[in-house]
Amino acid sequence: MSDVTISVNFLRWRRLMLELKRRGGGRRESGAFLLGLRDGQSLRVKDVVYYDDLDPNALDQGYVNFHADGFSALWSHCRKARLDVLADIHTHPGGNTSQSELDRTNPMMAERGHLALIVPHFAAGPWWSKRGISLFEYEANYRWKDLSGALPSRLCLTVF
Ligand SMILES: [Zn+2]
């Protein structure tokens, strides 16, 4: 999975950045699942589901704390939409987008190849900027591969 690319329509990405910012209100982390279709190394995002829509208490602690009920809502949404969970994305308060101990030891999906994105400054930066966004790929046993260095070429904002 190391040559993986994620394609997202730029309008969907813009909406995602604005929603993460709005839901976090500049004072707490927020996040979402990116759903879509996978074709080998190429992932195409077709839908976004926000943590606090699936689990209304997910953001209450200031950091993401997603509960089991949220997962059943997620699976039922995926089934209806016929889409897979490709990645998750969440915000961090400052410029540090390395994984916290919690991020590392609590993968939202403990599945090989699952991707996790972290956006700096509660997503308050310009929506089109990929600067500071980190990308991790889950391997196994709480081990992740850091793909952040190649993020600009792995995250493709598309017009189609
Ligand atoms: Zn985190």
CATH of the domain at 57: 3.40.140.10
Burial 95-114 (b: 16+ CB within 10 A, else e): eebebeeebeeebbbeeebb
118-125: average pLDDT? 97
Give me ligand 1 centre to Cα 103, in Å: 5
The whole-model pTM stands at 0.96
pLDDT for 2:
67
CB within 8 Å of 9: residues ≥ 6 apart: 45, 157, 158, 159, 160
Give me ligand 1 centre to Cα 160, in Å: 30
Give me 117's structure tokens.
């994105």
pLDDT for 100:
96
Give me ligand 1 centre to Cα 81, in Å: 27
Closest CA to 1 of 149, 154, 118, 124: 154
pLDDT for 63:
92
What is the CA 150 to chain-centroid distance, rounded?
16
**Tens of pLDDT along 25-79?**
999 999 999 999 999 999 999 999 999 999 999 999 999 999 888 999 999 999 9
pLDDT for 16:
98
pLDDT(1) > 70? no
**Tens of pLDDT along 2-24?**
689 999 999 999 999 999 999 99
Give me ligand 1 centre to Cα 128, in Å: 21
| DSSP annotation of 99 | P
**Tens of pLDDT along 72-102?**
999 999 999 999 999 999 999 999 999 999 9
* Alpha-carbon gap, residue 44 to 53, rounded angstroms: 22
Query: What range defines the domain where residue 135 resides?
Result: 5-158
Total domains in the fold of the chain: 1
